[in-house]
Amino acid sequence: MIRLKHVSKDYGGDRPALTDISVNIAKGEFVFLVGPSGSGKSTFIRLLLREILPTQGDIYISGQDIKALRSWKIPFLRRNIGCVFQDFKLLPNKTAFGNVAFALEVIGRSRYMIKKQVPEVLRLVGLEDKLDSYPGELSGGEQQRVSIARAFVNRPPLLLADEPTGNLDPATSLGVMTLFNRINRSGTTILIATHDREMVDSMRKRVIALENGNVVRDQLRGVYGYED
């Protein structure tokens, strides 16, 4: 599903954000990406979305070299990737419903389908009574859950999540994780960047640990690690 070959990304700072990363993630896997603040987790995810291009190396998603992708094809790549962003990236002038519906409008789903699926998915994340609230009227955790709902409303084969529980209380976090697990069991590949030690430790999934832009650990059924 995902193959990174000697990928480096240098923003031009003191040191590159990622250095010579080679990782394979198979279809259907559930992977945690952990590492201290600034270690390059978000950069990893932005590379997969082709929001940024790698300085060196190649990235393949479903066998496709996304570095060589023609620019008009990029939207089609992204429609197959659901993504929860660390800063939510909700459209401020659309309601919670509108934001989730947008991901379906973009791929041309019928209005009937949208009317049916969106409330369903928002109910899954516990926002059934916030359908008509704008992002500015939602709490941090509620915005994060809208972002999660948008990421998987169109059942993409690949789901990326950057810090999906950073603004959620432990109970809600657990609910979201259960959800991810369920989605994963239906065949979706999942990659989650997180700091949530409890979550990583309790799930015992594959863990890729970054530090200063290097992969320092890649462990099946791993734990968060990093003892304080």
Ligand X SMILES: Nc1ncnc2c1ncn2[C@@H]1O[C@H](COP(=O)(O)OP(=O)(O)OP(=O)(O)O)[C@@H](O)[C@H]1O
Total number of residues that touch ligand X (CB under 6 A) = 22
Give the rounded distance of the alpha carbon of 89 from its chain centre.
Answer: 12
Per DSSP, helices labelled H in the chain are 41-48, 74-79, 96-106, 111-124, 140-152, 170-185, 197-203
Question: Of 120, 169, 187, 204, which lies in the binding site for a second copy, with binding defined by CB under 8 A?
Answer: 169
Q: Tell me which of 9, 130, 150, 206 binds other proteins, using CB under 8 A.
A: 150
Q: Which residues bind Mg ion (CB under 5 A)?
A: 42, 86, 139-140
Residues 71-90 that bind a second copy (CB under 8 A): 86-87
CA–CA separation, 167 vs 145, rounded Å? 9
Which option in other proteins, Mg ion, ligand X, none does residue 38 bind, with CB closer than 5 to 8 A by kind?
A: ligand X
| From 39-47, 72-80, 102-110, 181-189, span contacting ligand X (CB under 6 A) | 39-47
SS3 40: coil
226 binds other proteins (CB under 8 A): no
State which of positions 15-44 bind a second copy (CB under 8 A): 34-38, 41-42
- Distance in Å, CB of 112 to ligand X, minimum: 28
Beta bridge partners of 58: 5
User: Which residue, 105 or 137, has its beta carbon nearer to other proteins?
Assistant: 105
Give the whole-angstrom CA distance, residue 68 versus residue 50: 11
Question: Are residues 13 and 187 in contact, defined by beta-carbon separation less than 8 angstroms?
Answer: no
For residues 154 and 118, the answer to whether their CB atoms sit within 8 Å is no
CA distances from 69 to 37, 45, 64 (A): 30, 17, 8
What does 1-14 look like in DSSP terms, one character per residue?
Answer: -EEEEEEEE--SSS
The verdict on 102 binding other proteins (CB under 8 A) reads: yes
Instruction: Answer yes or no: are the C-beta atoms of 213 and 19 closer than 8 Å.
Output: yes
Give the residue with the Cβ less far from a second copy, 7 or 193.
Answer: 193
Measured from the CB atom, is 163 or 189 closer to a second copy? 163
Partner whose footprint covers residue 226, from ligand X, a second copy, other proteins, none (CB < 5 to 8 Å by kind): a second copy
Residue from the set 4, 7, 48, 83 that interacts with other proteins by CB under 8 A: 83
Sites of contact with other proteins (CB under 8 A)? 49, 51, 71-72, 74-79, 81, 83, 85, 89-93, 102-103, 105-108, 110-111, 150
